[in-house]
Amino acid sequence: MILFISDLHLQEERPDITRAFFRFLQETAVTAKALYILGDFFEVWIGDDAVTPFHLEVAAALKQLTDSGCKIYLMHGNRDFLLGKQFCRQAGCTLLADPTLLPHNGENILLMHGDSLCTDDRDYQRMKCLLRNPLSLFVLRHLPLKTRQKLAGDLRAQSRNRTRMKAADITDVNPDAVLQAMQRYSVRTLIHGHTHRPATHQLPIGQRIVLGDWDSHGWYLRLEHDQLALESFAL
């Protein structure tokens, strides 16, 4: 069994989500051979040098799972793209590129966070290009901790304000971008998060499965016996 989750947005202010995640690890993920976390695992990540006891507790829970034999793979999201190798070593997980191809039964499954598919949100895409530029990443990682904390808070506030003002279709994926990505990588299944719109979409060339965000419910996708099932549970 392989499990996929995304958009937990873990933060100290939401202990209910953290408790639900730990319960998920202990009761569900412990029986899996692999767990894929497709971005926005944390609400914000300003650098591996800014870890708190909360982050260490999450890393320890992940390490306990990997020690039991379940492999964990972690992909950057738009909230935690500064998450680095130090945390992954502490958690015993492997950092994934976005996108990543997962071989399964002679075919590939395309795994993405999903934000790159929201091409109609041009303001967001411009901001992403700016922040993910190698020079920008270097500068961000070397800013003083307090400066990064303030910058992260400002960016989150701006993001919330922009999202409230935009139409729902602008912040969702672009259908042409989805088809182009699937054709580029020659896949029939695409799994992603980011949009907080959990669903399975049947397409002319296959299927697109959207993982849900963890808020009132936890969401995960189960791949078992060649069947994909999107499931949820109350927190």
Most confident of 11-25, 38-52, 130-144: 11-25
Pull the structure tokens for residue 151.
Answer: 């910058």
What pLDDT is recorded for position 126?
86
Q: How confident is the model at residue 47 (pLDDT cuts 50, 70, 90)?
A: confident
**23: Cβ–Cβ under 8 A, 6 or more apart, which residues?**
none
Domain 2-234 fold is Purple Acid Phosphatase; chain A, domain 2 (3.60.21)
Of all helices (H) and strands (E), which one includes residue 229? strand 227-234
Single pTM value for the model: 0.91
> Domain residue spans in the chain?
2-234
Q: How confident is the model over 102-161, as pLDDT tens digits? A: 999 899 999 999 999 999 988 888 877 877 778 777 777 777 877 777 776 766 666 666
d(CA 39, CA 194): 8
Residue 226 has pLDDT above 70, yes or no: yes
pLDDT of residue 139: 73
Q: What share of the chain is helix, strand, coil (3-state, %, to 5)?
A: 40, 25, 35
Q: What is the mean pLDDT of the chain?
A: 90
- Confidence check: pLDDT of 162 > 70: no
Rounded-to-integer distance, Cα 220 and Cα 213, Å: 9
CB 187 within 8 A of CB 108: yes
Pairing of strands 217-224, 2-5: antiparallel
pLDDT of residue 156: 67
